[in-house]
Amino acid sequence: MSPVGNQTRILLVDDHRLFNDGLKSLLNEQADLTVCGQVYQASDVIPTIHSIRPQLLLLDLNLQGINGIDLGKTVISTFPDIKILLLTMYNQPKLLEETQRAGLHGYLLKDSSTNDLLRGIRSVLAGYNHFDPLIAQPTAPPTDPFGDDFARRLTLTFREVEIIGLIREGFSNEQIADRIHLSIETVKTHRKNIHFKLGISKATDLVRFAVQNGL
């Protein structure tokens, strides 16, 4: 994966086209960076990497059908030399922990300043991990659904917490499957896992749990 001149080749993966295009314009103004491709859905990521061989992947956390952490793990297993920096609106220590465990190289908030974004990109390209300092310290209160103690005790994943929140809002399995782009059987499996982890058997108990814990 040799760069073009002194420029690092970057692939943008974000299904919000305005954000994707804005990020492209910003990065292409940098003498040492160039956006070699833009992807708007998860299914196009692996083929595009095969085709254009980027050195850095800027990856959104929320993509249709899969979250960025899981996709990042798949990319790293296939392309171990690529660097992956996750971009998200979620200021959550639990998600940062999952990103680290997955072996991704960085985690930055989408509302970071341009200087912070560029600093994070260049840090990752220099061989360092870069995790947003605003969320690197576990300062979340115990009742925060993504707080470290809470998450470790219940071993809930990001997807499971997301589904609990939708159940609280009254969504059916079919509606949840449509909203987060999973099969109904996958949603049912997640619900079984949630009930097992929480030691409950009724949907009403799950809703009560969600309300008590602010999910």
Answer yes or no: is 3 within a domain: no
Whether residue 155 is found in the same domain as residue 81: no
Q: How would residue 154 be classed by pLDDT, with cut points 50, 70 and 90? A: low
Answer yes or no: is 39 within a domain: yes
Whether residue 152 is found in the same domain as residue 91: no
Whether residue 129 is found in the same domain as residue 157: no
The CB density around residue 61, as the number of other CB atoms within 10 Å, is 22
- How would you write the chain as a 3-class SS string? CCCECCEEEEEEECCCHHHHHHHHHHHHCCCCEEEEEEECCHHHHHHHHHHHCCCEEEEECEECCEEHHHHHHHHHHHCCCCEEEEEECCCCHHHHHHHHHCCCCEEEECCCCHHHHHHHHHHHHCCCCEECCCCCCCCCCCCCCCCHHHHHHHCCCHHHHHHHHHHHCCCCHHHHHHHHCCCHHHHHHHHHHHHHHHCCCCHHHHHHHHHHCCC
Whether residue 130 is found in the same domain as residue 153: no
194 and 160 Cβ atoms separated by less than 8 Å: yes
56 and 106 Cβ atoms separated by less than 8 Å: no
Full-prediction pTM beyond 0.75? no
Over range 150-179, report the average pLDDT.
Answer: 78
CATH (domain of 68): 3.40.50.2300
Whether residue 29 is found in the same domain as residue 112: yes
pLDDT at position 148 is 44
Confidence check: pLDDT of 3 > 50: no
Rounded to an integer, what distance in angstroms lies between the CA atom of residue 152 and that of residue 146?
9
- How would you write 175-206 as a 3-class SS string? HHHHHHCCCHHHHHHHHHHHHHHHCCCCHHHH
Whether residue 31 is found in the same domain as residue 123: yes
pLDDT at position 147 is 46
Domain, as residue range, for 20:
8-135
| Residue-averaged pLDDT of the chain | 84
Whether residue 33 is found in the same domain as residue 121: yes
pLDDT at position 78 is 94
Over range 139-168, report the average pLDDT.
Answer: 62
pLDDT at position 65 is 67
Over range 66-94, report the average pLDDT.
Answer: 90
Confidence check: pLDDT of 188 > 80: yes
Answer yes or no: is 48 within a domain: yes
Answer yes or no: is 114 within a domain: yes
Task: Tell me whether strands 62-63 and 106-109 are parallel, antiparallel or unpaired.
Answer: unpaired
197 and 151 Cβ atoms separated by less than 8 Å: no
Residue of 52 and 165 predicted with greater confidence? 52
